[in-house]
């Protein structure tokens, strides 16, 4: 720091954590992923206190065992993650609720308050095969919005949790236009947003603008950056998200976009407590790659005031 430089302002409404995603974990069980014990050990050693559950089944699903494993490492769970296909209509509700109930039960048992909701991909995340059209019909948009409102209501009434919907590459909630359409179509008392800065930039969005425009709908943050040069090639050649990750499109902060300092400042200015969970998609990755990145990222976020 130079003599005339001032320290970064304290971001005292932002609670920073990390997630299995930053250790290359996308699936409950996969031989290319590190054991969950190693993730818990390394995320602690890297300096984080908050974690997400990640894909249901990666961490122990027995609440007593998971509480023991996290408590002795000084870790606390901030959220669970669920996957939905509510745009497909009421007929998917029962299967969706079966999945949601499992994750919500564990999330509540761990004293977390949020469920991160990821819409289903229209491309397979392993094979990149096209599963369904990348755009929704008007009827499917109605199914999506009313289904998410029902989900928000039921999750709150039955489990005392709030849902935060995660705009994501290769899903139907992705671009600025689609995110705004989704927010405008849903009740803010029931449905809010998990703003993932990397996915939003990947899809052409401006995170600071979104926070300043829809601040009351921002309930949770994922901190992530994209490499603009790799992203340009991904967009030009219509590369699916999975292969794009393998090319390194999601990169280590502060080497990509968006710049996280202004995003955190905009979030702080909302004057509400927010989780900001670091995620750097790296599936698959060498087992020794995530930990040093996690340490450096934690130091960088401290330099931003978080």
Could you give the 3-state DSSP secondary structure of residue 78?
A: strand
Confidence grade of residue 294 (pLDDT, cut at 50, 70, 90): very high
Mean pLDDT of 228-254: 96
Q: How far apart are CA 186 and CA 145, in angstroms?
A: 6
Q: How far apart are CA 178 and CA 122, in angstroms?
A: 15
Give the model confidence (pLDDT) of 181-235 as tens digits. Answer: 999 999 999 999 999 999 999 999 999 999 999 999 999 999 999 999 999 999 9
Please count the CA atoms within 13 angstroms of the CA of 241 that sit on its side-chain side: 21
Mean pLDDT of 236-248: 94
Instruction: Please report the pLDDT score of residue 6 as a whole number.
Output: 56
Mean pLDDT of 295-306: 96
Q: Evaluate if residue 2 carries a pLDDT over 90.
A: no
Q: Evaluate if residue 127 carries a pLDDT over 90.
A: no
Instruction: Please report the pLDDT score of residue 286 as a whole number.
Output: 97
Lookup: tokens for 295: 């340490």
CB 39 within 8 A of CB 74: no
Q: Evaluate if residue 1 carries a pLDDT over 50.
A: no
Give the model confidence (pLDDT) of 35-76 as tens digits. Answer: 999 999 999 999 999 999 999 999 999 999 999 999 999 999
Q: How far is CA 32 from the centre of its chain?
A: 21
Model pTM? 0.95
Q: What is the mean pLDDT of the chain?
A: 96
């Amino acid at each position: 720091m130079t003599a005339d430089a001032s320290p970064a302002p304290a971001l005292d409404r932002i609670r920073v954590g990390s997630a299995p995603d930053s250790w290359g974990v996308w699936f409950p069980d996969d031989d290319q992923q590190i054991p969950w014990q190693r993730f818990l050990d390394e995320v602690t050693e890297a300096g984080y206190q908050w974690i997400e559950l990640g894909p249901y089944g990666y961490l122990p699903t027995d609440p007593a065992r998971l509480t023991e494993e996290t408590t002795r490492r000084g870790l606390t769970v901030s959220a669970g993650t669920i996957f939905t296909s509510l745009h497909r209509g009421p007929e998917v509700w029962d299967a969706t609720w079966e999945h949601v109930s499992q994750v919500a039960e564990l999330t509540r048992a761990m004293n977390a308050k949020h469920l991160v909701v990821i819409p289903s991909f229209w491309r397979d995340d392993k094979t990149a095969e096209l599963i369904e059209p990348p755009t929704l019909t008007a009827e499917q948009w109605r199914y999506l919005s009313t289904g998410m409102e029902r989900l928000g209501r039921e999750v709150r009434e039955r489990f005392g949790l709030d849902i935060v919907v995660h705009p994501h590459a290769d899903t139907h909630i992705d671009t600025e236009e689609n995110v705004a359409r989704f927010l405008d179509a849903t009740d803010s008392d029931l449905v809010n947003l998990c703003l993932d800065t990397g996915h939003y930039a990947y899809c052409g969005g401006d995170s600071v603008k979104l926070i300043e425009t829809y601040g009351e709908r921002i309930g949770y943050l994922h901190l992530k950056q994209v490499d603009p040069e790799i992203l340009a090639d991904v967009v030009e050649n219509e590369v699916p998200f999975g292969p794009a990750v393998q090319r390194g499109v999601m990169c280590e902060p502060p080497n990509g976009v968006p710049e996280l300092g202004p995003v955190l400042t905009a979030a702080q200015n909302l004057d509400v407590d927010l989780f900001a969970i670091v995620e750097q998609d790296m599936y698959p990755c060498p087992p020794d790659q995530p930990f040093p990145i996690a340490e450096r990222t934690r130091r960088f976020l401290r330099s931003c005031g978080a």
